[in-house]
């Protein structure tokens, strides 16, 4: 009984904070609500008995992705100190589509007899570890490769072309001289002003 109440509270927290994510006016608030929603999901995993996943969820989502998102919001905003509007358009059509989607899903769930298989249980953390380095070692390595490709891709995409260092020593020297001259000019204008 206590258990089901706790699960209901956590589920409610997940849904409500998800609603705030899509409805918040200020983008920073939306990101923080996403963090709460993901933390509630971690709690849900813990209640289901997937404690390792709960930890991973906190570490990567709440610790990693939310921080990254906050950085993204901060770097790409134009006005210092002002709130970041997150934008809103065709609300009615979106509401209709998502309600229709949920209705179809609910109808399918109603029609399908979902009875848990007796004796089925989640893998424990040692079992997970063994599966990762045994049956799933190739996907594991591919995932690490994917992460590496993602990092390299992000750096290449976000790199500023105008700040690239020239390849030759000659070019580097010229660029340094140019930068020095620009600094000097800035100092001179500050002195005169």
Partner 1 sequence: MSSLSQFVLLAGVLFSIGLYGLMTRTHAIAMLLSIELMANAANVLFVVFAKAFGGAGQIFVLFALAITVAEVAVGLALVMLLYRRYDDTLLDLANEARE
Cβ-based nearer residue to partner 1, 142 or 177: 142
Cβ-based nearer residue to partner 1, 99 or 181: 99
10, 47 contact by CB (below 8 A): yes
Query: Taking the complex as a whole, how short is the minimal distance between the CB of residue 177 and partner 1, in angstroms?
Result: 27
Cβ-based nearer residue to partner 1, 89 or 190: 89
Cβ-based nearer residue to partner 1, 103 or 171: 103
Query: Taking the complex as a whole, how short is the minimal distance between the CB of residue 164 and partner 1, in angstroms?
Result: 14
| Token digits of residue 57 | 């969820």
Query: Taking the complex as a whole, how short is the minimal distance between the CB of residue 60 and partner 1, in angstroms?
Result: 5
Report DSSP state, residue 49.
T
Q: What are phi and psi of 85, to 5 degrees?
A: -70, 140
Q: Report the distance separating Cα 55 and Cα 63, nearest Å.
A: 11
Query: Taking the complex as a whole, how short is the minimal distance between the CB of residue 74 and partner 1, in angstroms?
Result: 10
Let me know if 8 is exposed, middle or buried by CB neighbors in 10 A (0-12, 13-18, 19+).
Answer: exposed
């Amino acid at each position: 009984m206590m258990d089901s109440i706790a699960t209901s509270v956590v589920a409610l927290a997940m849904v409500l904070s998800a609603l705030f994510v899509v409805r918040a006016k200020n983008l920073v608030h939306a990101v923080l609500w996403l963090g709460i929603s993901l933390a509630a999901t971690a709690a849900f995993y813990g209640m289901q008995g997937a404690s390792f996943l709960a930890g991973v969820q906190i570490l990567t989502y709440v610790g990693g992705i939310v921080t990254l998102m906050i950085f993204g919001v901060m770097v790409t905003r134009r006005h210092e100190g002002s709130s970041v509007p997150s934008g809103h358009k065709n609300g009615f059509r979106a509401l209709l589509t998502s309600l229709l989607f949920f209705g179809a899903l609910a109808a399918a769930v109603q029609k399908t007899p979902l009875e848990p298989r007796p004796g089925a249980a989640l893998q424990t953390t040692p079992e997970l570890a063994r599966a990762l380095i045994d049956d799933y070692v190739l996907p594991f390595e591919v995932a690490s490769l994917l992460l590496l490709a993602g990092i390299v891709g992000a750096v290449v995409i976000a790199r500023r072309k105008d700040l690239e260092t020239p390849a030759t020593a000659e070019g580097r020297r010229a660029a340094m001289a140019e930068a020095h001259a620009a600094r000097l000019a800035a100092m001179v204008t500050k002195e005169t002003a």
